[in-house]
Structures are given as structure tokens and as C-alpha cells.
Amino acid sequence: MHIDYWREVKKSGPGRAGLAAITAVAALAVLAPLFTGHQPGEYTGAIFHPPSREYWLGTNDVGQDIWTHLLYGARTSLAVGCGAAALSAIVSALVGGLAALSGGITDRVLMRLTDSLLVVPPIMVAILAAAYFRPGAALLVFLLAAVMWPGGARLVRSQALAAKERAHVAAARTFGAGRLYLLTRHIMPEIGPVIIAVLVMDARRAVFMEAGLSFLGVADPAVVSWGKMMQQALRFSYLDVWKWWLLPAGAALSLTVAGLAFTGFALETVLNPRLKERDR
């Protein structure tokens, strides 16, 4: 498959919209201190202050600047999302690749494990573990990766099995290429795009689950997070504050999740050309 995936994704409408959304959120997250004069934990002296020049989105029930929370919440979401997705994709690639290349009993054992884990609802296990451990960002990354990897592993295995049978792999093998060489030089480039698609989809699920867990109040209360903002703001829905507290947090979360989903759809379309809009 000799397609420039990057260009293909950028060419499709949803792909461009998705990439733009992610880039915007990422820029705000990375440059957070430049856009605000406050710290997330800082007490500003005004409680439920409406939006003003000083507090762009007003202040919350304990007098903290909401705009600052929104910016630092983006950091949490993206860091946890990317971290969990990267870790999960590595495990997927290792398990799937190993199963495909080894075959035999290794393949059977690994795939039995994968298939069993695949039918377990990830968020339920995540809630159970989080309720006891009250995870901070780092532990959350491990927890989410631990429940997310099986789906990707199945995909990587099937793609690696197909790649293994390709002529250029067979040719390399007849020239005496070792297993590691085959994996890194021939099979990985072949299934690289699939792994990137897995990565994007996993990032979307991780951002989603992080928000869900903090919405339930089972994540570390010290971590600033969109889900937590929504949980707290929902208690004051009888006041006007939801307009600049609840909605921005929800909108930011939706934008991030939608951005990742759109990028994922675009990648999927590139990978499965039959879905392409050829006769438009």
C-alpha cells in the first residue's frame, strides 16, 4: 500500500476539521500559562463572579478562575488521553505482533486472553479500580491502558498476519532475513497506519473515560479536569453559573472527543478505500 496517509487525511473534510480541533485544544493546553494570569488552585477573592475582563469565564463556588480551570483541564485530558493511548497501542502492537509472528500455542494463548478481555466492559473495571485507588494522572494512564489494549491487539494481529504473507516479506525471508528484521523493516511499515488509527481511537476512548471517571468523582480530587468541573457545576444548575462553568467544560470535552473521532473516521476511510466517495 503506497498511499500518503497524512495527505489523504488532510484532504478529507472531517479529517481536516478533526485535526484542526485537536491542534487548537493542544495549543491551548501547552501554552496554558500564557493565556491566563491565574493558577488553577488560586483563591481570587470573588465567589460566583460573573465573566469579566479579569475572569473571562467568571469564578466558581470556591472563588477559582474557571477559564484557568478550562485550560489546565485540557492539559489533563490530553496528557491522560495521549499517554494511555500510546501505552495501550504499544501493548496492542506487542501482543498482536507477537501472536501473528509466533503462531501456534503462543498465538492461541494470547488471543484467548485478548478475546476474553474484549468482552469485559472497560469503564466498569476502570470505575472499580479508581474507586479504591483514587488515581492521579499517572496511575490513570496505566489503568486506562490496561483496560483498552485488547481491541487494538486483535486488529494488529489480523493485519500482521496479512502482511506476513505479502510477496516482499516472503522475498526478504528467502534472502535470510531474521524475525526482528522482518518485523521492524517490513511488517511494521506495512501496519503502521493501522497502529496510528488504533492510537487515535484509543485516545478518544481515554479522554472520554477520564472525563467519565472524574465526573463520577473517583479520580484524584487534586487534578483539574473537565469531568470534575462538570460534576461540580451540575450541583449549581439552579444558578446562572452553568452558562460559563458547565457549558464551556462540556463543549471543550465534546470538541476534543469529536476532533479525535473525526480524525479516526478519516483514517479509517483511507485504510478501507471501499468506503471512499469515489463517484461523487
Partner 1 sequence: MDRTGLLLNYAAALAIILVLNFAIPRLMPGDPLQAIYGDEAMIAMTPEMKEDIIRRFSLDMPPDRQFRAYIASLLRGDLGHSYYFNAPVAEVITGRLPWTALLAGLALVLSMAAGAFLGIESGYRRGRPADGVLLAGMMSLSGLPDFFAGILLLILFGVGLGLVPLAGAVTPYSGLGGMALFLDILHHLALPLASLVIVRISAVYLLTRNTMVLTMGAAFIRTARAKGCPEAAVRYRHAGRSSLLPVVTAAGLQLPHLITGTLFVEIVFSYPGIGTLLYNALLTRDYPLMQGVLLLVTVVVLGVNLMVDLLYRKIDPRVTHAY
Contacts with partner 1 by CB under 8 A lie at: 14, 112-113, 115-117, 119-125, 127-129, 131-132, 208, 211-212, 215-218, 230, 234, 237-238, 242, 246-247, 250, 253-255, 257-259, 261-262, 265, 274-275, 277, 279-280
Q: Give dist(CA 93, CA 152) in Å, integer.
A: 7
105 or 119, CB closer to partner 1? 119
User: Given the complex with partner 1, which of 175 and 238 has the nearer CB atom?
Assistant: 238
CB of residue 19 to partner 1, shortest distance in Å: 14
Q: Which is nearer to partner 1, 34 or 131 (CB)?
A: 131
Q: Which of 222, 275 has the CB closer to partner 1?
A: 275
The alpha carbons of the chain give a radius of gyration, in whole angstroms, of 22
SS (HEC) of 50-102: CCCCCCCCCECCCCCEHHHHHHHHHHHHHHHHHHHHHHHHHHHHHHHHHHHHH
Nearer to partner 1, 178 or 273 (CB): 273
Tell me the closest approach of the beta carbon of residue 131 to partner 1, in angstroms: 6
Sign (positive/negative) of CA torsion 249, 255, 261, 267?
A: negative
* Helices within the chain (DSSP H only): 5-11, 13-30, 32-35, 66-102, 104-118, 122-133, 137-164, 167-174, 179-181, 188-216, 226-234, 246-271
Residue 260 beta carbon to partner 1: minimum distance, rounded to whole angstroms: 8
Smallest distance, partner 1 to C-beta of residue 55, A: 22
